[in-house]
Structure 1
């Protein structure tokens, strides 16, 4: 059926000026309440709640204690290294300083659980971002992209020139670390595992001759080599990197606002030269080539 011409159409009824009935007022109130609740929920996604690291006055940050130059516990019980300085700088840019920042030593096998249980607010501990870990926690950053390499005794330089030369040789294996599986499982190199509870023990075993090599991120290897040199041991990094290791800041999965705040802090550290300064401070003495451009972030959602 054809529609009538415009001048034949039924006009819209004019307002009568009558007040809405009680039923209509009730329906309007329900609709308004629903819209208000929806708006509050939407705002909560972007705004930091009281449990977000972006809103806290104190922070507990998980760090390593066995990685010279990266994260190491000193004889006095304090922590030092590149990761420690990065963590302290991030906290300061979140508005938390001094005694309001507490460092807690974490292990490779316990980091995810400590974040999930709320025992730590952040983890800054050479924490490589992997798909498996992202199921359990979120990652801000990365604040640096390292590369897995191999550390050997200087006397073995001619015999070990890449990870493929580790076949049949004793290689340190730290539970919870992905470094040994990257060599043995992903690269298919039949190295012989020698278990240690951390990379400080790997270093001790390497210099004592109980190991042939240590393979992990180049920042960690550089710190180990520097400590060995100070103790009179000559070690060498093979300089044959075979992975990218994005170091993320572990954070509770629901804390999107906190993740975004940490990303803002990391970006600022690169832009104002703070990250470059810290990399020079800890790794320039061992001649490690470092990257000083902002890494590509993982994304917080």
Structure 2
């Protein structure tokens, strides 16, 4: 199985942990909503290899395949899914307001977010990195950032907060609504560097061959989970069951290879499941 060496995902040491959730009676649980054969799922529309809306209106990417598999295990076929765009700054709001049944959108599990929503998973582990123009030789790691650096990330994203709080407090941070906007600004020369998870950046780099590159060792650990309504323990347990089955039957590996694997030529070691 193939994946870009620049991702540096450390998958060989990855352990996917599923919290055992006691089945409870959540308020309007997704499992009940899914009984009519329909689900509304939030994804990203602009992340190559992860969540993309194609020109013909269809959707592709690793997160999309995760969503389809989970939905199927909840009794909802692909044609019963309505995919809606879930911008980073609106994911919790969309879940809380009932705009979506759950969110599969490179959604890092954090304590702050768990105060508002619940998570199933994680189903993937990434790490924060940097994306620069190919000719840039000044920025080689997060320690290269300084007060003259124009850094771009997304509003309400963990990468932006991580850099400002822990690495380069005086960096000129510019926050946009999407990473595709950041990448456009990077290509135009109006920002110097974009930061988010390595797997997201690698996808954008493939869209601009010879123009962009991923640099620096990873400087965070991001566990991607499926966000859903807080207190919906029954559905969370069923989604965890589906994720565990997806990894065990080879579907996880196939989805990853088909969507993100084409990014490069390095070996991926499938994660070890450790459910407790």
Considering the TM-score relative to the shorter chain, is it more than 0.5? yes
Q: Measure, in 2, the Cα distance between the counterparts of 1:256 and 1:63.
A: 22
Say whether 1:285 aligns with 2:255: no
Say whether 1:259 aligns with 2:206: no
Q: Is the 8 A contact 1:142 1:295 kept in 2?
A: no
1 or 2 for the larger relative contact order (CA 8 Å, sep ≥6)?
2
Asked which structure has the greater CA Rg, the reply is: 1
Q: Is the 8 A contact 1:222 1:283 kept in 2?
A: no
Report how far residue 286 of structure 1 moved.
Answer: 2.4
Q: Measure, in 2, the Cα distance between the counterparts of 1:243 and 1:296.
A: 21
Q: Measure, in 2, the Cα distance between the counterparts of 1:241 and 1:225.
A: 16
In the alignment, which residue of structure 2 is the partner of 1:245? 222
Say whether 1:130 aligns with 2:110: yes
In the alignment, which residue of structure 2 is the partner of 1:149? 129
Q: Measure, in 2, the Cα distance between the counterparts of 1:256 and 1:240.
A: 37
Q: TM-score, normalised by structure 2?
A: 0.84
> Residues 132 and 290 from structure 1, CA distance in 2 versus in 1: closer, same or farther, beyond 3 angstroms?
farther
Q: Deviations 1:95-142 (Å, cap 9, x if unpaired)?
A: 210321111111111111111111111100001011110000000001
Unpaired runs of at least 5, structure 2: 1-21
In the alignment, which residue of structure 2 is the partner of 1:52? 29
Report how far residue 294 of structure 1 moved.
Answer: 4.1
Question: How many residue pairs are counted as aligned between the two chains?
Answer: 250
> Residues 110 and 50 from structure 1, CA distance in 2 versus in 1: closer, same or farther, beyond 3 angstroms?
closer
> Residues 290 and 54 from structure 1, CA distance in 2 versus in 1: closer, same or farther, beyond 3 angstroms?
farther
Q: TM-score, normalised by structure 1?
A: 0.77
Q: Measure, in 2, the Cα distance between the counterparts of 1:49 and 1:137.
A: 12
Q: Is the 8 A contact 1:166 1:189 kept in 2?
A: no
